Amino acid sequence: MTAENLINGIPQERRLTTAIPGPKSLDMQKRRVSAVSGGVGMTLPIFIERAGGGVVVDVDGNSMIDMGSGIAVTTVGNAATEVAAAVTEQVERFTHTCFMVTQYENYVDVCEALNRLTPGDHEKRSALFNTGAEAVENAVKIARHYTKRQAVVVFEHGYHGRTNLTMAMTGKNQPYKQGFGPFAPEIYRMPLSNPFHDGLSGADAAKHAISRIEKELGAGNVAAIVIEPIQGEGGFIVPAQGFLPALVKFANNNGIVFVADEVQTGFCRTGAWFACEHEGIVPDMITTAKGIAGGLPLAAVTGRAEIMDAVHAGGLGGTYGGNPIACAAAMASIGIMEQQDLNAKAKNIENVMVPRLKKIAEDCGVIGDVRGRGAMIAVEITKPGTDEPDPDMTGKVAKLCHSEGVLVLTAGTYGNVLRFLPPLVMPEHLLDDALTIIERAFKEATA
Ligand SMILES: *Cc1c(COP(=O)(O)O)cnc(C)c1O
C-alpha cells in the first residue's frame, strides 16, 4: 500500500470481508432495535468503526466507498487531520461557556469567515446555531421581525428540516410530516422551476410563481422567500437559468427578505463556495450547516447587517449555538477548503461523474435525467421513455450498490432519485470504482 493510498491511516479501497451487513453489525442491530426509537431510520444497518478520505469502514472490516458524506457533511473528509487537531486543542482548553454568557474568539472567527465568503460585498452579520433546521427557523424569525410581516413563501419539493416550523416548510409528507401536525401557519408553497418535468424557461417559471404570490398572498404581506438554490432532499433539482434571479428581483422590489437555504449546497459542495454564485444572485440572508464544520454540529444565519441587527439583544441564541469545539472544527474545515481548493475538486468530481452517468443512462433506459453541480450529482429514475417516477427500480439499484460496497443515498418527493454526495477529498480511483459498481447495478437491475 503506497502512502497516497492511505488517508487517516485507512487504505483507500473498496473491500468486502463479509456480506453487508456483517455478523458484528447484525449483533449491534439487535441491540439497536431494542434500545433506539424505531422512529429513527437508517439507510443501511451497518455500524461504522473508522472513516476517512473516501471510505467508511464498518465493525466487520468492510470498507465502503462513501458517496453520501453523512448527507453532505464530511465535505473535507471524515475526521480530517486538521479538524481532529483543532477539535483536540479546543476540547482540552474549554468545551463550553455559552456564548450568551461569556464569549470566545472562535465564534467571532466563524462569523467573520461567513461574512467574507458568502455572496455580496455589503455589510453582513452572522449568528450561530446547531442544526440546519434551527438556522432556517432563525432566518424566518429575523425576517418576520425585520419586515413586521408574517407570510413565508417556500417551494414544491423543498426540504428545510424536521422541527415544527421547518416541517411546515418542507414539501413532502412521508416520512417527514405524517401524523405530526398541526403545522405552523403562514407558510405558502409555490411552484418551482423543474426543467425536466415542466419544460419551462426560468423566466416563465418565475412569472408563474410570482403571479401566484401576488394573487394569493399579496407581495406586501410576505416576510421572506426561502428557497434552496439547488434542492437537496427534493432530488437535486437545478432550477432553469433565470428563475432565481427573477425571484430575487421580485423580493428586492417588494421589501421581501430573500433567504437562500444553502444548508446542503454550501461550502464548496457545488464547485463554488455557495450555489447562489452559479446564478450570480446575492441573497439577503443565507442559512448554512452540514458541510461547515467537518462533521461537528454547527449552523449559521448570515445576512445584511441592517436585517440581522434589527433584532433586540437576547432575541436570538441558544445554549449550545456556536459551541467552541464546533467553531474550531469549522475554522479548520474552511482552512482545508481554501488551501486544497475544494471548489476545483468538486468541479473535477462533476467532470468525472456526469459523462459516465450519461453513458449509463443511454445504456439502461431507466434514467430520465442526469443533473446537479459539482459534487452534488443525481440521476432521476423513470419508467423507460416517460417522466413517470420509478421508486422500485431506484431502491433496487441502491440495494445492489450497497451489497457491493458503495454507499449511495436516494432522494426526491417520489423516492426515485439516486443522489451522490462524495467527500470532496475522494481519491479519483475510488470515484471510478464507485461508478463501475453503479454501472453494474443498473445493468443487473434492468436485465
Ligand atoms: C438538511 C437540511 C436542512 C436541515 O438541517 P438539519 O441539520 O438536519 O436540521 C435544512 N435545509 C436543507 C436544504 C437541508 O438540506
Amino acid in position 242: G
The C-alpha atoms of residue 293 and residue 313 are separated, in whole angstroms, by 26
Q: What's the burial of 177, exposed, middle or buried (CB within 10 Å: 0-12/13-18/19+)?
A: middle
61 C-alpha to center of ligand 1: Å? Answer: 31
Element (H, E) at 138: helix 132-147
User: Both 124 and 213 in a single domain?
Assistant: yes
Pick the atom of ligand 1 nearest to 161's CA. 4
DSSP 317: -
Mean pLDDT of 176-196: 97
- In this predicted structure, what is the pLDDT of residue 5? 86
Give domain status of residue 72, yes or no.
no
Which among 73, 129, 157, 160 is the best mutation to test ligand 1's pocket, defined by most ligand atoms within 8 Å of the CB?
160
Q: What is the pLDDT of residue 10?
A: 96
3-state secondary structure of 265: coil
The predicted structure's pLDDT at residue 4: 57
What pLDDT shows up at residue 2? 52
Is 409 in the same domain as 260? no
Exposed/middle/buried for 193, CB within 10 Å: 0-12, 13-18, 19+? buried
191 part of a folded domain: yes
Do the beta carbons of residue 37 and residue 49 sit within 8 Å? no
The answer on 117 and 34 residing in a single domain is no
Q: 433 and 407 in one domain?
A: yes
265: Cβ below 6 Å to ligand 1?
Answer: no
Which mutation among 263, 267, 285 tests ligand 1's pocket best, with the greatest number of atoms within 8 A of CB? Answer: 263
Q: How many angstroms separate the CA atoms of 402 and 431, rounded?
A: 15
Between the CA of 132 and the centroid of ligand 1 the distance, in Å, is 4
Asked if the structure places residue 77 within a domain, the reply is: no
Domain that holds residue 142: 83-339
Residue 95 lies in a domain: yes
The x, y and z cell numbers of residue 62, run together, are 468492510
Give me ligand 1 centre to Cα 60, in Å. 31
CA distances from 370 to 237, 344, 429 (A): 10, 21, 22
State the residue for C-alpha cell 468492510.
62
Q: 294 and 164 in one domain?
A: yes
Q: Smallest Cα–Cα separation from 100: which of 413, 321, 291, 365?
A: 321
132 lines ligand 1 (CB under 6 A): yes
Query: Is 218 among the domain residues?
Result: yes
Name the domain boundary from 290, 307, 339: 339
Q: Is residue 71 part of a domain?
A: no
Q: Are residues 371 and 256 in the same domain?
A: no
Task: Answer for the pair 79, 69: CB distance below 8 angstroms, yes or no.
Answer: no
DSSP reduced 3-state for 162: coil
Among candidate residues 357, 66, 89, the one with its CA nearest the CA of residue 236: 357
Give the residue among 287, 280, 262 at the shortest CA–CA distance from 134: 287
**Which atom, in ligand 1's list, is nearest to the CA of 228?**
13
Q: Pick from 306, 339, 372: which residue ends a domain?
A: 339
Domain boundary among 308, 339, 370: 339
CATH number, domain containing residue 41:
3.90.1150.10
Distance CA 237, CA 396 (A): 22
3-state secondary structure of 367: strand
Torsion sign (Cα): 247, 243, 167, 319: negative
Widest CA span in the chain? 65
Q: Cα(3) to centroid of ligand 1, in Å?
A: 36
User: What's the DSSP call for residue 192?
Assistant: P
Q: Is the CB of 137 under 6 A from ligand 1?
A: no
pLDDT higher than threshold 70 for residue 281? yes
Q: 153 and 275 share a domain?
A: yes
Instruction: Looking at the structure, tell me whether residues 241 and 292 fall in a common domain.
Output: yes
C-alpha cell at 133: 433546521
Are residues 269 and 400 part of one domain? no
Which residues lie closer than 8 Å to 79 by C-beta, 6 or more apart? 8, 50, 51, 52, 295
Give distance in angstroms: CA of 291 to centre of ligand 1.
11
The pLDDT assigned to 1 comes to 47
Q: In this structure, how many other beta carbons lie within 10 angstroms of the beta carbon of residue 396?
A: 18
Summarize pLDDT for 95-138 with one digit per residue, the tens. 999 999 999 999 999 999 999 999 999 999 999 999 999 999 99
Domain count of the chain?
2
CA distances from 282 to 120, 252, 381, 412 (A): 6, 10, 33, 27
Q: Do 216 and 319 lie in a common domain?
A: yes
In angstroms, rounded to a whole number, what is the distance separating the alpha carbons of residues 55 and 13? Answer: 7
Is the per-residue pLDDT at 3 higher than 80? no
- Does the Cβ of 52 fall within 6 Å of ligand 1? no
User: For the residues 343-361, what does the mean pLDDT come to?
Assistant: 98
- The partner residues of 369 in beta bridges, in order of sequence, read 380
Residue 37 has pLDDT above 90, yes or no: yes
How far is the centre of ligand 1, averaged over its atoms, from the C-alpha of 299 (Å)?
10
CA-to-CA dists, residue 241 to 246, 286, 353, 431, angstroms: 10, 20, 22, 29
Q: Which atom of ligand 1 is nearest to the CA of 290?
A: 7
DSSP 54-103: TEEEETTS-EEEESSHHHHT-TT-TT-HHHHHHHHHHHHH-S---TTTS-
Same domain, 109 and 60: no
Q: What is the pLDDT of residue 16?
A: 97
**C-alpha to C-alpha distance for 65 and 84, rounded to whole angstroms:** 21
Q: Do residues 116 and 201 both lie within one domain?
A: yes
CB 133: neighbour CB atoms within 10 A? 24
Task: Please state the φ and ψ torsions of residue 2, each to the nearest 5 degrees.
Answer: -80, 160
263 touches ligand 1 (CB under 6 Å): yes
Q: Looking at the domain assignment, is residue 76 inside a domain?
A: no
pLDDT tens digits, residue range 75-99?
999 999 999 999 999 999 999 999 9
The response to whether residue 160 sits with its C-beta less than 6 Å from ligand 1 reads yes
CATH code of residue 250: 3.40.640.10
pTM of structure: 0.98
Rounded CA separation 233/158 (Å): 7
The answer on pLDDT for 217 being more than 80 is: yes
Output phi, psi for 90, to 5 deg: -70, -40
Indicate the average pLDDT of the chain: 97
**Rounded to the nearest 5 degrees, what angle is found at the Cα of 234, between the Cα atoms of 228 and 240?**
60
Query: And the C-alpha cell for 300?
Result: 449559521
Q: Kindly indicate the confidence band of residue 168, based on its pLDDT and cuts at 50, 70 and 90.
A: very high
